[in-house]
Structure formats: C-alpha cells, structure tokens
Amino acid sequence: MRPAERVTLEDVARAAGVSRATASRVVRGDAGVTEKKTRAVQAAVAALGYIPNSAARALVSRRTGTIAVVIPEPDQMIFSDPFLTRTVQEISRYLDAADIQLVMVFGDHAGHGRRAAKYLRNGSVDGAIVISHHRFSGQVEAIMSAQLPVVFIGRPAAQNSPTAWVDLDNVSGGRLAAERLLERGVRRPAIITGPLDMVAADDRLKGFREVLGSSGIDPVLLEGAFTAESGRAAGEALAPRIESGEIDGVFASSDLMALAALKVWRERGLRVPDDVRLVSCDNTAEAAAADPPLTSVVNPTDVLGRAATDMLRSIMDDTWDGQPVLVPARLELRQSC
C-alpha cells in the first residue's frame, strides 16, 4: 500500500481476515469478539498503522474526546495566578492519561458567562470544568444552561446551586490561620481577603472571624482580589499601622497577595515575623521559597484537579454518586508565623 494512502477499516478487516463489522467492534473495544479475531485485528492495526477516524467515532459514541476548562477571569489573572495555572496543569495531566483533549475557554469580561455558555452549547466538548467563578448574577446559571456535564472547582453559591463541585474546606482554612496567629501571640490581626463575591474568599473570612470572635477580637479587614496588585495595595495600607503597633499579625488569603505585601513591608524596613506575623493560603512553591518562608494553608491543586476530572468523567459515564468533594484544610508551618 502506498504511504500516501489512508489506511481504512476495510484494509484492516481484509488483513485480519474478518468482516468490517468485527474489525470495527475490536477497534471500539466492544465485547463479544473472540480472542483469536481480536488478536488478528490488533495485529493488522499495528502492521498497517491504522488510525481511527475520530469524526466517525464521535458520531457513533456521541463523544468528541474533548473537555473544556472554563475560567471566567481577566486574561492577566489567568496567566499570573499560580493556583489557576497549576490547577489547569493538573487537569491537563489527568486528561492526557485518559487520551482526552483539553481546551481553554475564557469568560467574557462582564463576568456573565454567556460567551462561555454559547461555546459549550455548540457540540465541541463533552463536558466542562469551571475554575474561579464569581457570584455575578447569572454566571453559574448561564454555564449550566449549556446542558452539558459540568464540575466546579470552588463551591457555587447561585440559587439552586449544582452539587457537582470540588473545593477546599475554606472555612476550616480561615480557622487554622486565626488559631495559628493567636498561638503566636497575635492580638491585633488583619485579614487581606480575596474578592468577596467569591465563595472561597468569603468562607476564609468566615472561619477567620469565627475563631477570633470567640476571643473577643474583631480583625481589620481589607478586601483584595487574589492578585499581586491588590496584595501590594493592602500591604501599603497596613504598613503604617504595623509600624505604630496597631497591627501585629496578618492573614493574606492567597500567597500571591502575601508575597506582594511582604515585599512592601521589606521596602519599609518592617520585618516578618518580628514586627508582624504573616499567614497565607495556597502553599505554592513561591511561598516556601520566600524570605522568610510563609506559613500557608495548603490548597492542593493536584487533589482538586484529579477529583474534578474524576467527577466529570463519572458524570459523563452515568456513574457519579451525586456527592460533592470537600478537601480537608491543613496548615504548613514555616518561619513567617
């Protein structure tokens, strides 16, 4: 056979000495074919270099072999936030092992999710994993309207929220941060939150306040955006209050914000942990390599990525047990607190 010619299923069937239907069943992995015929077809596939026609296979299986990862965030955040990039890398790794293609879908800047939903409805993907969604009016509802299997990394808080989600126990994470600060003698704490239209940021604040409230402490609150820019702004706002002794400990709700605030304080001559104790969240490699290394709530991208991928595939295969996954929080202790 000339190299330029595409090997067909008929060629495989002829070489294996079986019918086209039998060759097709073996290629699809169907049961009901004898071991002898299966070996013959597999040998013919290998010898001829047969590659199944993915379009034809999709028509039969009603699967495209493609999963979308939807991130309804501004472009600059997607490529600068280590939590987002590493979560996507983990999902890609698990999908690659299953020979499933990943495509990235970005939300519209208005945050409504309509453009992403339109793409999901066009039949190009079998399902979607949504990361870093907000409580914008209609965002979750728009994505769910695509009528596809969808899993959220981060608990959604829309009306009649879907239960297909995977999340860190962020309330517990906030509690652990507060408990550590109290253990280290902090009595005048502040918190740099994430955007409070996100459940994760709100939950971390809730757990933090809960523990401090039981000690009669009301923390100073600065709302950030899970970005370095917002961490720097919060760090600058807190610096004079740290210098005066008004603030003696800070919980920054992401490593990215904590590292930016730390840089500001170092420029002002403030020392961590001597002048202010610092706890962060995400436990990235950058947090471990900081000076000083940051005590941080572990936000395990590998666990979240695998759990979301497994959940989505089980929904697609009709084997999901209907239960969300809440990952326990733990604190990695280092020199900053």
Q: Is the pTM of this model over 0.85?
A: no
CB atoms within 10 A of CB 196: 15
Q: At what angle do helices 54-61 and 20-28 cross, to 10 degrees?
A: 80
Q: Return residue ranges of the chain for CATH 1.10.260.40.
A: 9-61
Residue 198, φ and ψ in degrees, nearest 5: -110, 135
Confidence band of 52 (pLDDT split at 50, 70, 90): low
The third-level CATH classification (topology) of the domain covering 170-298 is: Rossmann fold (3.40.50)
Q: Quickly list DSSP for 245-267.
A: TS--EEEESSHHHHHHHHHHHHH
pLDDT tens profile 121-156:
777 889 899 987 666 556 667 777 777 899 999 988
Whether the Cβ atoms of residue 4 and residue 11 lie closer than 8 Å to each other = no
Q: What pLDDT, on the 0 to 100 scale, is given for residue 2?
A: 38
Q: Return residue ranges of the chain for CATH 3.40.50.2300.
A: 66-168+302-328, 170-298
CA dist., res. 173 & res. 300, Å (int)? 12
pLDDT tens profile 181-232:
999 999 999 999 999 988 999 999 999 999 999 999 999 999 999 999 999 9
Residue 59 exposure: Cα atoms within 13 Å on the Cβ side: 4
Class of domain 9-61: mainly alpha
Q: Is the pLDDT at 5 greater than 70, yes or no? A: no
CA dist., res. 81 & res. 96, Å (int)? 23
Q: What pLDDT, on the 0 to 100 scale, is given for residue 302?
A: 93
Confidence band of 335 (pLDDT split at 50, 70, 90): very high
Residue 140 exposure: Cα atoms within 13 Å on the Cβ side: 24
Which residue stretches of 157-251 are H helix? 170-183, 199-213, 228-243
Q: Please state which architecture CATH assigns to domain 66-168+302-328.
A: 3-Layer(aba) Sandwich (3.40)
